[in-house]
Amino acid sequence: MSALPEGLLGAGAWFRVEAAGTASAVRRAAERLATELAMPERRIADLSIVAAEAAGNLVKHADAGVLLVRTARAEGQAGVEILAIDTGPGMADVDHAVGDGHSTAGTLGIGLGAILRQADWADLHSVPGKGTVLVAQVWPGPAPAPAWAAGVTRPLTGEPVSGDAFAVRETGGRRQLMMCDGLGHGRLAEAAAAAAVRGFDLAPDGPPAVVLESLHRAIGHTRGAALAIAELDPAARVVRYAGLGNISGTVLSSESRRGMVSLPGIAGHQRRAIREYDYPLPPDAVVLMHSDGVVDRWDPRAYPGLLARSPQVVAATVLRDAGTRRDDAGVLVARLP
């Protein structure tokens, strides 16, 4: 088992799930986070079941299973999100697998059913031979609408923190995303990324080029970062995009894959004139942004139905199968609601 030592109110805690005893550690971490968030006791009890079953499923069925416990925030409240990722045998029939009594390991098979009953919201995707990604949320009150954008980051192997970060905001009717890769790795890269997140929250209400220019000035005291800003415009059916450095942006749909342009430079230190580009946004498309810790050799056609799943599940699947262990890695996914 391994977990980030940061506090659970930050980026969350990753666990490597290799033995049955890990389920208890995951459950305790989820309970501690829920207590810090002042969730009601009855919801903490539900969360305990979700966390224990998610970890237990990884022990029973998965290869190289990992689990993330983190805070989820929406509509003025904070809940707990469990993200379980594996490279196990996968499931050909997910609907059948979530029914109580089904099992691929000779057990009672109640794990997925228990998770879906106790969680306020859950989603999963599985491909035989590739593995399964499951996300579940427990909230203190009525569950908010599912997120239109979400991301996942993890640090370079051996590092306690990640220099990759993301942020999402809605301001002035704009739906905007930021993906950031602080130069290098470790604490200084994390500091650059954290400054970018703060700068994004405080940036003026404007199009991506204006926001990126603001961030370039805001993080000048750090070692700098690769940065990209995307804005989804539902009325025009376009995504507007401005980037500096090695952040990859792609518009993915069932029929097409189109890359978006990030210009050379280092936000906070050196740049050319910042430019913004518009790209068509098909009705079924998702916008995917990632750092250079994720390779581009990823084919959505190998994952039937994935692009229709939640942004959390899409992002975690890409991180699992295209992320490298030689660098911090981060993926951000969004779609129009």
Domain chopping of the chain, boundaries: 13-138, 149-334
What pLDDT is stored for residue 324 in this prediction?
Answer: 87
Taking only the tens place, the pLDDT of each residue in 299-331 is 888 999 999 999 999 999 999 999 988 899 999
Taking only the tens place, the pLDDT of each residue in 168-182 is 999 888 999 999 999
13-138: CATH superfamily: Histidine kinase-like ATPase, C-terminal domain (3.30.565.10)
Q: How many of the other CB atoms lie within 10 Å of CB of 171?
A: 13
What pLDDT is stored for residue 141 in this prediction?
Answer: 93
The DSSP bridge partners found for residue 278 are 240
Prediction pTM value: 0.91
Alpha helices in the chain, H assignment, sequence order: 22-36, 41-61, 94-97, 111-118, 187-202, 208-218, 311-322
Burial of 54 (0-12, 13-18, 19+ CB in 10 A): buried
Higher pLDDT, residue 337 or 43: 43
Q: Which two tokens stand for residue 78?
A: 């904070």
What pLDDT is stored for residue 96 in this prediction?
Answer: 57
Q: Which of 87, 83, 153 is nearest to 124 (CA)?
A: 83
What pLDDT is stored for residue 104 in this prediction?
Answer: 46
CATH of 149-334, one of 3.50.30.30, 3.60.40.10, 2.40.10.500, 3.40.50.720: 3.60.40.10
What pLDDT is stored for residue 94 in this prediction?
Answer: 63
SS3 content of the chain, % helix, strand, coil (to 5): 30, 35, 40
Return mean pLDDT, the chain. 89
Is 131 a residue whose pLDDT tops 70? yes
User: CA 109 to CA 127: how far, in whole Å?
Assistant: 19
Is 95 a residue whose pLDDT tops 90? no
Q: How confident is the model at residue 220 (pLDDT cuts 50, 70, 90)?
A: very high
